[in-house]
Amino acid sequence: MDENQEELERHFQQLREELDQNELQSFRDHFLEMHFYDQGQFYQSLNQKERQLMYSYLSPKELADMFDVIEEDDDYVDEYLNEMRPQYAADMLSEMYTDNAVDLLNELDKKPVAKYLSLMDSEHANEIRDLLHYEDDTAGSLMTTEFVSIVANQTVRSAMYVLKKEAQIAETIYYTYVVNDDNQLVGVISLRDLIINEDDAMVSEIMSERVISVHVGDDQEDVAQTFRDYDFLALPVTDYEDHLLGIVTVDDIIDVIDDEAASDYSGLAGVNVDEVDENPVKAASRRLPWLITLLFLGMTTATLINHYEALVSKASILAVFISLITGTAGNAGTQSLAVAVRRLAISDDNEKNFGKLVLGEILTGLVTGLVTGITIFVIVGIWKHNFVLGFVIGAAMMAAITVATLAGSWIPMVMERLGFDPAVASGPFITTLSDLTSVLIYFNIASLFMERFIGH
């Protein structure tokens, strides 16, 4: 544990003691001086009795600032809200940034959501209802309606007045979006531009008309890609007629990138990586479908080996190298799969790059297969004093790696073109498929050279 963490733990312990001893003012002073993230970490470390004391010590607004940084996928969010008084919880949700409040409410059943909305003032409730209607994982579900917009036919002085007035409730003020009388997005102006220009300058003269925006129905991965390409802190969200509906901020995109990375890794591993603290029975129930499916696919490999039982009985030495060939091919396939999924994630034109990527992976498979095949050819030839056997193992290794590399790149690309998430072409699936093809390749090559190495 580093020095900062130790200091934070001591601070947490002091706060717990102040809670237990009902030292209200001292607790408030020490708690509110912390960063919102640290407040959230402290809150999540408490038991229900201690949290109940916090609710009596803090206003809904003070708690809302902390909840704005608590991950919406926290398994205990519904428990936190349920243990609050309904009006207190509704007031807290009203004080949160709208997009964060929507994220929390999306974790709840419809009945408590309706309860909290009915207890809010109509303005906040309507804003939240509007965002709740958007599909998950789209720009609409990520955006916030708390932003600053101005019109083109006003001066910098009046724009700064609007900015100062709205800054307290806006999620970001670094970009101010310019709209026309129909609320259509026509430009953007930075805070820096507003500061350095004369007060009497017209917004229309200094704004940038080349505005990068996203559509309300765009997938969150595409939105994240736009952030990565342009290094923005925020992006405006529009409908089909360019009406400005909201903005997506970079803090939400960081969460998206984290979620997408976890999703891709879950697919590659064939398991839900978020099940770290999950109940063992529940965790097992999530993993079993994959394992049972792969078990039946593995039985196909076993059946194939059984088909070549006569070949193995004539040359038992072949059995020694089965796991070596299948394991190496499986590793090559998994490597190719990981690269293919990453390339698809960052590629702007999958149609154009499909053939190029496949060709590149074939060449990569051939090179790696050739080098690996030559290496094992020399090792087996010297080890067993049988270079014909070494050639069989080396040729099988080269072919198996090439096929596995091609499969690892081709399968996710095909799934992408069919509209499926390429990450579901998981590592275990590719490995098992590689086992099947590797065994088939190995024994077919061995049967061709059987007479040459069996009596060598």
How does pLDDT run across 220-257, given as a tens digit for each residue?
888 988 998 898 899 999 998 999 999 999 988 887 87
Q: What pLDDT is attached to residue 237?
A: 96
Let me know the angle formed at the C-alpha of 283 by 280 and 289, rounded to the nearest 5 degrees.
Answer: 135
Q: What's the rounded Cα separation, in Å, for the pair 114 and 131?
A: 14
Residue 213 has pLDDT above 90, yes or no: yes
Structural domains present in the chain? 3-137 (1.25.60.10), 149-249 (3.10.580.10), 280-453 (1.10.357.20)
Average pLDDT (386-395) is 92
Question: Residue 325 — very low, low, confident or very high, per pLDDT cuts 50/70/90?
Answer: very high
Please name the residues in contact with 28: beta carbons below 8 A apart, sequence gap of 6 or more.
Answer: 57, 58
pLDDT confidence of residue 176: 93
* Residue with more model confidence, 352 or 58: 58
Q: What is the mean pLDDT of residues 86-112?
A: 91
Q: Which of 2 and 288 is assigned the larger pLDDT? A: 288
The more confidently predicted of residues 55 and 357 is: 55
- Span 339-363, average pLDDT: 68
Q: What is the pLDDT of residue 264?
A: 56
Assign 139 a pLDDT band (cuts: 50, 70, 90).
very high
**Backbone torsion region of residue 242, taken as left when φ is above 0, otherwise alpha when ψ lies between -120 and 50, otherwise beta:** left
pLDDT (average), residues 393-414: 87
DSSP H or E run through 402: helix 387-417
Can you tell me the mean pLDDT for 409-431? Answer: 69
> What pLDDT was estimated at residue 307?
84
What is the per-residue pLDDT for 354? 64
Per-residue pLDDT at 257: 77
pLDDT band at 352 (very low <50, low <70, confident <90, very high): low
What CA–CA distance (Å, rounded) separates 341 from 416? 9
Give the least confident one: 42-46, 211-215, 272-276, 324-328: 272-276
Residue 338 is predicted with a pLDDT of 75
pLDDT category of residue 75 using cuts at 50, 70 and 90: low
Q: Could you tell me which residues come within 8 angstroms of residue 197 by beta carbon, excluding any fewer than 6 positions away?
A: 156, 206
Q: What is the mean pLDDT of residues 296-313?
A: 82
DSSP label of 422: G
Sign, Cα dihedral of 402, 408, 411, 416 = negative
Rounded to an integer, what is the distance from CA 356 to the centroid of its chain?
Answer: 26
Q: With bands split at pLDDT 50, 70 and 90, how would you rate the model's confidence at 348?
A: low
Q: Which residue has the tokens 């349920």?
A: 82
Residue pair 153/223 in contact by the 8 Å Cβ criterion: no
In the numeric block, the tokens 């299948």 are attached to 326
Q: Residue 177: pLDDT band by 50, 70, 90 thresholds?
A: very high
Hey, which of 113-117, 307-311, 450-454 has the most confident mean pLDDT? 113-117
Q: What is the structure's pLDDT at 185?
A: 96
Tell me the pTM.
0.62
Query: Residue 347: its pLDDT value, please?
Result: 59
